[in-house]
Amino acid sequence: MEQPTQQKKGLEPMEKAKLAMKLVSNPDFESEIDAYVSGKDYDEHSVNYFKHQIAIQQRLQSEGGKLLNTGGQIVSVVMGALANTLKNTVDNTMEAAGRKKN
């Protein structure tokens, strides 16, 4: 009689959430996950998928930071241009008003 193979378990959602909070900013997250699952009966595909999710989250944070920085630079340039335009408009208006008096 054959013994049924024991099905390996996947990472539970709450388990993944707790781990993700600790690992999302850790560049050595893969070894941390490996240490967590070591000796436990976790499905390898589930663990690898979780590692992939953490890697994507780290990349999103990195790229998001770059986009935020670029957006700030764009706003700064636009505000500078608007300030210059407003200053020039005020200067031209004052100049024109001074000419009318003479």
Q: What is the pLDDT of residues 14-70, one digit of tens each?
A: 989 998 888 888 889 999 999 999 988 899 999 999 999 999 999 999 999 999 999
What's the Cα-to-Cα distance from 44 to each of 32, 33, 38, 71, 86, rounded to whole Å?
15, 11, 11, 40, 62
pLDDT at 1: 47
Instruction: Name beta bridge partners: 34.
Output: none
Instruction: Report domain extents, the chain.
Output: 13-101
DSSP classification of residue 42: B
Residue 16: both structure tokens together: 């993944």
Q: Does the structure show a pLDDT above 90 at 96?
A: no
Give the global pTM.
0.64
For tokens 């998928």, what's the residue? 49
Q: Does the structure show a pLDDT above 60 at 2?
A: no
The C-alpha atoms of residue 32 and residue 53 are separated, in whole angstroms, by: 14
pLDDT at 5: 61
Between 73 and 8, the more confident residue is 73
pLDDT at 9: 84
